[in-house]
């Protein structure tokens, strides 16, 4: 049994300890945001946050994540109430196929929580690990800047921790 | 009108109403617009439910290009309803018209034209129905917000009138479209209807579908083309946790497990247990262009203009090369198959549900009527990637595991090594200038494989190649002009009295190839527009002025002038050190959107690295339905084409494809994308929609190459203009 805190909910899961976090999120928890892209940490489609840092969930085994805080794009907001970055991506129409976008948002979230007013160069450096094939890069950069302006002091409000056993 | 059709018409509900607008004989001979010509029934496109909500049916698929949103706007505008009341059902063999493939920038021209006209006709039928009910002339009635309103204030909702719409009612010729000046929804940048779910983790892709009882499969592909399975001991894998079945049919090998990770682990183990013979050898990558040039080809003369003018005084010639390239979808291909009794459903991100169904039927030897293919979005495809093949896999595996939905997703290295690439190509151009600097003779040849090997037949699905009775790919055929395949955009729009253009079609395919965004247009426009730059230099002329001097199409001239103006084109103005400016133009397929591109680049003489600093792109897509949708497509196309042009090149050895991951096939990342790409639109209200999705690919490549030549003071004619190649050229 592994206990994982995902978006403020603790899940007790009976899984292979070597299973990468990506497959726990998608297959066990039914979350869609993190995507399979390469399984090699080369594209960033699977990016989520771990204790405030952007990580590749396809490479991170579940066993090392106990007691740590995992956040996915689902933790930032909903269609009805999008989070600040999500709203900025909608406002800038910063998606084409959108397959990479949840990973982009999580990597950008990690940046903005650390550095609320990044320069263009800082944004590009932060986003370098994540690939977009549709060529939406410039809109993504603009959306991150827009969110940075809207957020100012944004950190997610600490959610009440729930427990779920599977 | 025949007696039979009259009787049929009157036998249907609401026939009296419908009968008021029957066309005369003369009109029925006119061709219906867009895809209405192949599916004339209005109910095939537009349905109005009892609440007055609208459902639009399109045979085209949402590929991330925003077609769902643009089609929503067309229906909302012509029917006078809020966009929120319009639902769009996309490509589904169980529900929508057969519109072939969603490809070639055809969706707005074909499906959009059908839907805008069908919507307008349905509105007019609803108004006529209301006129009959209210006893007023139709012309006195108006529509808004889903209601038909009379001058006296009485009104009827579309839902109450919907019964008047016979499902058998066919569209009739005639223009019922609103005056573009009255548009409230068309021409506006309505936000994409699919983006909110995509940014919040909603179920947006076939990869996200979770059907009850669904199981997960992984394929074990041969190590190379034509390799066959010699030995396999699958006992250990069959005993692994969660494994339900190892599927082996000839050399076709897969594993099905309860959970996805279990399937991945079992796949790796099974791959280790499988012994394969060597497949067919691949050509030596070092000499691939000589190989291509030497392969047997069929010469097709696509232009041969001869005029009696004085011979040129100066001649120029050049040869251009482009490597094999990859679609490189971020999400590997995925599909879900479900065999229930003798019926199969496949959820797929194919570009063509009907052709894919045909191929799957042939693969499984099932009647097409027993198969339903439903399009669900996948990762962007940019052409024929692994989507259809994955659907074939899902179908075979659903047959092996009936009554349970089987989801299969490819691994990264499978997508990279098995997708059909865009072909390597060679072009050769020569031209003569007269004393006044005008081109008087133009000779151009393009050598290429086929640019479409899409399904159709079972041989177009790679799963079939490994079956006990292997399926054989159909013989490749060239896509004829005017659209063209390898010769797409091989004919320049420039006025030249002597012009010969020959397409050398090469049937034999050293690597698996098929359609990628723009097909041959990317290479032909790169070649032609690079060559125009070289000719302008030879003539001592300005790049923009030289193009305009040879161009009479006013819309072509307009985009060129606009791009030049917004960029601030001034060849005499100094640029920063090692910076250069470049220009290019094309009308996609010579019949879709016009695009002119001006760019500024820098070239690092030490590393050979090219950076695109800024770009201004002018586009004429005919009537603009969603300005931001066009901007997004053009900006994205520019960045993608920049990546093709500056870094992308398939790698392989004589034994296997070696571009197995993003390390072996790098694409442009954030630090190297341009500083700015600005799109300027020329709207043409009331004129036909011109396909736009691929319009930026070719001009971008040439504009960058021309700017690189300007900055580096030397011309590299082989793509990509990678740091390695540039550095070698700069130090030569």
In a domain, A9, yes or no: yes
pLDDT tens-digit map of A133-160: 999 999 999 999 999 999 874 444 444 5
B89 forms bridges with which residues in the sheet?
B57
pLDDT of B21 above 50: no
In a domain, A22, yes or no: yes
Residues A31 and A70 in one domain: yes
In a domain, B71, yes or no: yes
Q: How far apart are CA B293 and CA B385, in angstroms?
A: 26
pLDDT of residue A161: 60
Q: Domain ends where: B177, B196, B215?
A: B196
pLDDT of residue B25: 38
- Contacts with A89 from chain B: Cβ below 8 Å: 195, 199
Is B638 at the interface with chain A, CB within 8 A?
Answer: yes
- Contacts with B632 from chain A: Cβ below 8 Å: 93, 96, 136, 139
Residues B439 and B412 in one domain: no
CA A138 to chain centre: 19
Q: pLDDT band at residue A166, thresholds of 50, 70 and 90? A: low
A50 forms bridges with which residues in the sheet?
A53, A70
**Any residues with CB less than 8 A from the CB of B260 and at least 6 apart, and which?**
A23, A26, A27, B216, B407, B409
Report how many Cβ contacts below 8 Å link chain A to chain B: 180
pLDDT of residue B19: 30
pLDDT of B99 above 90: yes
pLDDT of B314 above 80: yes
How far is CA B728 from each of CA B526, B605, B651, B652, B708, rounded to the nearest angstrom? 21, 10, 19, 21, 14
pLDDT of B264 above 70: yes
Specify the CATH number for the domain of residue A145. 1.10.150.120
pLDDT tens-digit map of B191-231: 999 999 999 999 999 999 999 999 999 999 999 999 999 99
Number of domains in chain B: 3
Q: Domain ends where: A49, A75, A101?
A: A75
Residues B496 and B363 in one domain: no
Q: Domain ends where: B196, B226, B259?
A: B196
B313 sits in the region (left: phi over 0; alpha: psi -120 to 50; else beta) called alpha
How far is CA B352 from each of CA B99, B327, B660, rounded to the nearest angstrom? 8, 17, 27
- Which of B199, B380, B662 has the CB atom closest to A96's CB atom? B380
Q: What tokens does B92 get?
A: 């589904």
Residues B105 and B23 in one domain: yes
Residues A10 and A69 in one domain: yes
Residues B166 and B255 in one domain: no
Tokens 């900006």: give the residue: B635
Number of domains in chain A: 2
- Which of A32, A42, A96 has the CB atom closest to B662's CB atom? A42
Residues A15 and A65 in one domain: yes
Stretch among A116-125, B27-36, B426-435, B523-532 having the lowest mean pLDDT = B27-36
Specify the CATH number for the domain of residue B10. 3.30.365.10
pLDDT of residue B7: 35
Residues A50 and A95 in one domain: no
Residues B123 and B100 in one domain: yes
- Which of B200, B208, B411 has the CB atom closest to A82's CB atom? B200
pLDDT of residue B32: 95
The boundaries of the domain holding residue A26 are: 2-75
Letter string b/e over residues B554-586, b meaning 16 or more CB atoms within 10 A of that residue's CB: ebbbbbbebbbebbebeeeeebeeebbbbbbbb
Q: How far is B671 from chain A (nearest CA, A)?
A: 5
**Any residues with CB less than 8 A from the CB of B83 and at least 6 apart, and which?**
B72, B73, B76, B185, B190, B193
pLDDT of B23 above 70: no
pLDDT tens-digit map of B144-177: 999 999 999 999 999 999 987 888 899 999 999 9
pLDDT tens-digit map of B563-608: 999 999 998 899 999 999 999 999 999 999 999 999 999 999 999 9
Q: Domain ends where: B166, B196, B226?
A: B196
C-beta atoms of A37 and B210 within 8 A: no
Cis bond upstream, residue B231 (ω within 30): no
In a domain, A164, yes or no: no
ipTM: 0.94
C-beta atoms of A27 and B259 within 8 A: yes
pLDDT tens-digit map of B666-720: 999 999 999 999 999 999 999 999 999 999 999 999 999 999 999 999 999 999 9
- Contacts with A33 from chain B: Cβ below 8 Å: 200-201
Residues B404 and B446 in one domain: no
Residues B512 and B616 in one domain: yes
The boundaries of the domain holding residue B90 are: 3-196
C-beta atoms of A20 and B261 within 8 A: yes
pLDDT tens-digit map of B477-535: 999 999 999 999 999 999 999 999 999 999 999 999 999 999 999 999 999 999 999 99
pLDDT of residue B703: 98
In a domain, A70, yes or no: yes
- Contacts with A133 from chain B: Cβ below 8 Å: 328-330, 379-380, 382, 640, 667
pLDDT tens-digit map of A79-118: 999 999 999 999 999 999 999 999 999 999 999 999 999 9
pLDDT of residue B397: 98
Residues B157 and B272 in one domain: no
C-beta atoms of A37 and B331 within 8 A: yes
3-state secondary structure B195-253: HHHHHHCCCCCHHHCCCCCCEEEEEECCCCCCCCEEEECCHHHHCCCCEEEEEEECCEE
Residues B403 and B530 in one domain: no
In a domain, B201, yes or no: no
B248 C-beta neighbours (distance < 10 Å), count = 19
In a domain, A44, yes or no: yes
pLDDT tens-digit map of A38-72: 999 999 999 999 999 999 999 999 999 999 999 99
Is B208 at the interface with chain A, CB within 8 A?
Answer: yes
């Amino acid at each position: 049994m592994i206990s994982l805190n995902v978006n403020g909910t603790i899940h007790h899961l009976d899984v292979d300890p070597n299973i990468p976090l990506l497959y726990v999120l998608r297959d066990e928890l039914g979350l869609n945001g993190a995507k399979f892209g390469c399984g090699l940490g080369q594209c960033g489609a699977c990016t989520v946050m771990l204790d405030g840092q952007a990580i590749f969930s396809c490479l991170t085994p579940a066993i090392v994540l106990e007691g740590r805080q995992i956040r996915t794009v689902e933790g930032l907001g909903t269609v009805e109430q999008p989070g600040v970055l999500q709203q900025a991506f909608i406002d800038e129409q910063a998606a084409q196929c959108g397959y990479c976008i949840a990973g982009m948002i999580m990597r950008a979230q990690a940046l903005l929580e650390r550095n609320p007013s990044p320069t263009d160069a800082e944004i590009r450096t932060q986003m370098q690990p994540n690939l977009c094939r549709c060529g939406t890069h410039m809109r993504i950069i603009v959306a991150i800047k827009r969110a940075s302006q809207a957020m100012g002091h944004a950190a997610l409000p600490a959610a009440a921790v729930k427990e779920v056993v599977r | 009108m025949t007696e039979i059709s009259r009787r049929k018409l009157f036998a249907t509900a609401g026939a009296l109403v419908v009968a008021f607008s029957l066309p005369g004989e003369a009109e029925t001979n006119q061709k219906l617009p867009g895809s209405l010509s192949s599916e004339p029934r209005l109910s095939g496109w537009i349905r109005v439910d009892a609440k007055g909500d609208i459902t639009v049916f399109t045979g085209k698929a949402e590929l991330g290009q925003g077609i769902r949103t643009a089609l929503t706007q067309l229906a909302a505008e012509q029917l006078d309803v809020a966009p929120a009341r319009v639902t769009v059902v996309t490509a589904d063999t169980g529900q929508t018209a057969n519109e072939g493939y969603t490809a070639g920038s055809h969706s707005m021209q074909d499906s959009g034209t059908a839907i805008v006209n069908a919507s307008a006709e349905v509105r007019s039928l609803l108004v006529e129905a209301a006129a009959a009910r209210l006893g007023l002339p139709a012309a006195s009635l108006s529509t808004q917000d889903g209601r038909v309103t009379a001058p006296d204030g009485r009104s009827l909702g579309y839902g109450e009138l919907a019964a008047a719409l016979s499902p058998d009612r066919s569209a009739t010729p005639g223009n019922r479209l609103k005056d573009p000046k009255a548009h409230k929804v068309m021409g506006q940048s309505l936000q994409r209807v699919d983006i909110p779910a995509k940014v919040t983790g909603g179920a947006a892709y076939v990869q996200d579908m979770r059907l009850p009882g669904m199981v997960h499969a992984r394929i074990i592909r041969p190590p190379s083309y034509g390799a066959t399975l010699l030995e396999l001991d699958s006992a250990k894998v069959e005993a692994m946790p969660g494994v339900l079945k190892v599927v082996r049919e000839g050399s076709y090998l897969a594993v099905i497990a309860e959970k996805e990770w279990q399937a991945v682990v079992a796949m790796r183990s099974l791959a280790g247990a499988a012994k394969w013979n060597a497949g067919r050898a691949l050509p030596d990558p070092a000499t691939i262009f000589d190989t291509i040039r030497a392969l047997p080809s069929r010469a097709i003369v696509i232009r041969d203009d001869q005029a009696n003018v004085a011979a040129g005084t100066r001649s120029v010639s050049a040869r251009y090369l482009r490597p094999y390239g990859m679609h490189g979808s971020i999400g590997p291909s995925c599909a879900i198959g479900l065999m229930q009794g003798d019926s199969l459903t496949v959820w797929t991100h194919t570009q063509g549900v009907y052709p894919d169904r045909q191929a799957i039927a042939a693969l499984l030897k099932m009647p097409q009527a027993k198969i339903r293919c439903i399009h669900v979005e996948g990762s962007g495809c940019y052409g024929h990637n692994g989507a259809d093949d994955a659907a074939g896999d899902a179908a075979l595996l659903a047959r092996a595991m009936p009554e349970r939905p089987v989801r299969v997703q490819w691994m990264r290295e499978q997508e990279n090594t098995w997708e059909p690439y865009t072909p390597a190509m060679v072009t050769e151009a020569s031209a003569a200038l007269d004393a006044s600097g005008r081109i008087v003779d133009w000779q151009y040849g393009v050598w290429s494989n086929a640019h479409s090997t899409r399904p159709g037949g079972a041989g177009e699905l790679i799963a079939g190649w490994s079956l006990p009775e292997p399926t054989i790919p159909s013989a490749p055929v060239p896509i004829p002009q005017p659209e063209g395949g390898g010769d797409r955009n091989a004919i320049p729009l420039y006025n030249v009295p002597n012009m010969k253009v020959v397409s050398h079609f090469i049937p034999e395919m050293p690597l698996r190839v098929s359609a990628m965004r723009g097909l041959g247009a990317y290479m032909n426009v790169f070649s032609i527009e690079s060559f125009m730059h070289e000719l302008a230099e030879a003539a001592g002329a300005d790049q923009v002025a030289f193009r305009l001097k040879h161009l009479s199409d006013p819309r072509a001239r307009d985009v060129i002038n606009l791009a030049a103006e917004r960029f601030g084109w001034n060849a005499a103005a100094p640029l920063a050190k090692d910076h250069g400016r470049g220009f290019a133009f094309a009308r996609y397929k010579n019949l879709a959107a016009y695009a002119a591109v001006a760019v500024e680049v820098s070239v690092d003489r030490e590393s050979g690295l090219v950076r695109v600093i800024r770009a201004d792109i002018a586009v004429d897509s005919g009537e603009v339905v969603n300005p931001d949708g066009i901007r997004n497509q053009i900006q994205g196309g520019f960045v993608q084409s920049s990546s093709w042009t500056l870094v992308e090149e398939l790698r392989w050895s004589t034994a296997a494809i070696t571009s197995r991951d993003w390390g072996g096939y790098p694409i442009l990342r954030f630090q190297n994308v341009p500083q700015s790409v600005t799109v300027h639109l020329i709207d043409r209200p009331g004129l036909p929609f011109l396909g736009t999705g691929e319009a930026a690919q070719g001009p971008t490549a040439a504009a960058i190459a021309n700017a690189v030549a300007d900055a580096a003071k030397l011309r590299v004619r082989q793509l990509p203009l990678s740091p390695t190649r540039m550095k070698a050229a700069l130090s030569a």
